[in-house]
Amino acid sequence: MSSENTFDVIIVGGGPGGYIAAIRCAQLGLKAACVDDFTGKDNKASLGGTCLNVGCIPSKALLESSHHYEQLNHGLENHGIKVSGVKIDIPAMIKNKDDIVGRLTGGISGLFKANKVTSFHGRGKLLAGKKIEITTNNNDVSIISGESIILATGSRPIDIASAPIDNKNIVDSTGALDFDKTPKKLGIIGAGVIGLELGSVWSRLGADVVLLEAQDTFLPAADTKIAAEAKRQFKKQGLDIKMSTRVTKATSKGKKVTVNYEDSSGEHTIELDKLIVSVGRRPNTDNLFAPEAPIELDERGFVEVDEIWQTNIAGVYAIGDLIRGPMLAHKASEEGVAVAEVIYGEEPEINYAVIPSVIYTSPEIAWVGQTEQHLKSAGEKIKIGTFPFAASGRAQALGDTTGMVKMISSVETDEILGVHIIGPQASELVAEAVLAMEYSASTEDLALTIHAHPTLSEALHEAALAVDNRALHIPNR
Active site residues: 453
Q: What torsion do the CA atoms of 126, 127, 128, 131 make, to the nearest 10 degrees?
A: -80
* Burial class of residue 389, CB neighbours in 10 A (0-12, 13-18, 19+): buried
- Minimal distance in Å, beta carbon 406 to ligand FAD? 22
- Minimal distance in Å, beta carbon 447 to ligand FAD? 30
- The nearer residue to ligand NAD, 420 or 461, going by C-beta atoms, is 420
Is residue 56 a contact residue for ligand FAD (CB under 6 A)? yes
* Burial class of residue 223, CB neighbours in 10 A (0-12, 13-18, 19+): buried
CB-based contact 90:180 (threshold 8 Å): yes
- Minimal distance in Å, beta carbon 365 to ligand NAD? 9
Query: Which residues in 339-378 contact ligand NAD (CB under 6 A)?
Result: 358-360
Partner touching 16 among ligand NAD, ligand FAD, none, CB below 5 to 8 Å by kind: ligand FAD
Is residue 316 a contact residue for ligand NAD (CB under 6 A)? no
Q: Output phi, psi for 337, to 5 deg.
A: -65, -50
- Residue 272: helix, strand or coil by DSSP? strand
- Residue 60: helix, strand or coil by DSSP? helix
**Piece of 30-38, 84-92, 264-272, 372-380 that binds ligand FAD (CB under 6 A):** 30-38
Query: Which residues in 309-348 contact ligand FAD (CB under 6 A)?
Result: 320-322, 327-330, 332
Query: Which residues in 270-289 contact ligand NAD (CB under 6 A)?
Result: 278-281
CA 213 → CA 55, 175, 190, distances in Å? 21, 20, 5
Q: Which residues contact 356 (CB under 8 A, 6 or more apart)?
A: 330, 366, 367, 368, 430, 431, 433, 434
Is residue 38 a contact residue for ligand FAD (CB under 6 A)? yes
Is residue 197 a contact residue for ligand NAD (CB under 6 A)? yes
Is residue 173 a contact residue for ligand FAD (CB under 6 A)? yes
Strand 185-189 and strand 274-277: the pairing is parallel
- Number of Cβ within 10 Å of residue 49's Cβ equals 29
Partner touching 466 among ligand NAD, ligand FAD, none, CB below 5 to 8 Å by kind: none
CB-based contact 386:404 (threshold 8 Å): yes
- The nearer residue to ligand NAD, 191 or 288, going by C-beta atoms, is 191
Is residue 49 a contact residue for ligand FAD (CB under 6 A)? yes
Is residue 212 a contact residue for ligand NAD (CB under 6 A)? yes
Report the C-alpha gap between 299 and 409 in whole angstroms: 35
- The nearer residue to ligand NAD, 72 or 214, going by C-beta atoms, is 214
Report the C-alpha gap between 399 and 347 in whole angstroms: 48
- Number of Cβ within 10 Å of residue 342's Cβ equals 19
Is residue 403 a contact residue for ligand NAD (CB under 6 A)? no
State the binding string over 228-267 for ligand NAD (x if CB under 6 A, else -). Answer: -------------------x--------------------
Q: Which residues lie across from 170 on neighbouring strands?
A: 275
Partner touching 17 among ligand NAD, ligand FAD, none, CB below 5 to 8 Å by kind: ligand FAD
Q: Report the residue from 36, 37, 70, 213 that binds ligand NAD according to the rule CB under 6 A.
A: 213
Which of 150, 136, 119 lies closest to 33, judged by CA? 119
Partner touching 214 among ligand NAD, ligand FAD, none, CB below 5 to 8 Å by kind: ligand NAD
DSSP-H helix ranges across 173-263:
193-204, 224-236
- Minimal distance in Å, beta carbon 193 to ligand FAD? 7
Is residue 405 a contact residue for ligand FAD (CB under 6 A)? no
Q: Which residues contact 201 (CB under 8 A, 6 or more apart)?
A: 59, 62, 63, 66
- Number of Cβ within 10 Å of residue 328's Cβ equals 19
Is residue 284 a contact residue for ligand FAD (CB under 6 A)? yes
- The nearer residue to ligand FAD, 261 or 309, going by C-beta atoms, is 309
Is residue 195 a contact residue for ligand FAD (CB under 6 A)? no
Q: Report the residue from 126, 191, 250, 323 that binds ligand NAD according to the rule CB under 6 A.
A: 191
- Minimal distance in Å, beta carbon 430 to ligand NAD? 12
Is residue 193 a contact residue for ligand NAD (CB under 6 A)? yes
- C-alpha dihedral sign at 229, 233, 236, 242: negative
Beta strands in 411-464, from DSSP E residues, in sequence order? 416-423
Residues near ligand NAD, by CB under 6 A: 160, 189-195, 197, 212-215, 247, 278-281, 326-328, 358-360
Residues near ligand FAD, by CB under 6 A: 12-18, 35-38, 49-51, 55-56, 59, 123-124, 152-155, 173, 194, 284, 288, 320-322, 327-330, 332, 360
